[in-house]
Amino acid sequence: FFNNSPIWSTFAEVAEGTLPANYTSDYARALRYSADAQAEALLSGGEVQDALDEAAGRIENETGRERAN
């Protein structure tokens, strides 16, 4: 299927540079706001960065966490 290519070593090489995910108790809320921002930008034709900035502001206000850049 993979033409005898060493696919598992390729996956391992890619995975070495991947940072671990950091799930917090606010993950579900952040996921919801980011999904809403994406839908808003796509459906209304708005600016993606503006929608994401608004979502980040909501998350900051509700969680007390500072925005990571």
- What tens-digit pLDDT sequence spans the chain (69 residues)? 577 777 777 777 877 878 788 888 999 999 999 999 999 999 998 899 999 999 999 999 999 998 876
Residues with Cβ within 8 Å of residue 47, at least 6 apart in sequence: 41
Q: Report pTM.
A: 0.62
Instruction: Report in angstroms the alpha-carbon separations of 24 from 21, 35, 38, 40, 53.
Output: 10, 17, 21, 25, 20
The pLDDT of residue 38: 92
**Which residue carries 């890619």 as its tokens?**
14
The pLDDT of residue 1: 58
Alpha-carbon Rg for the chain in angstroms: 18
The pLDDT of residue 18: 80
The pLDDT of residue 63: 92
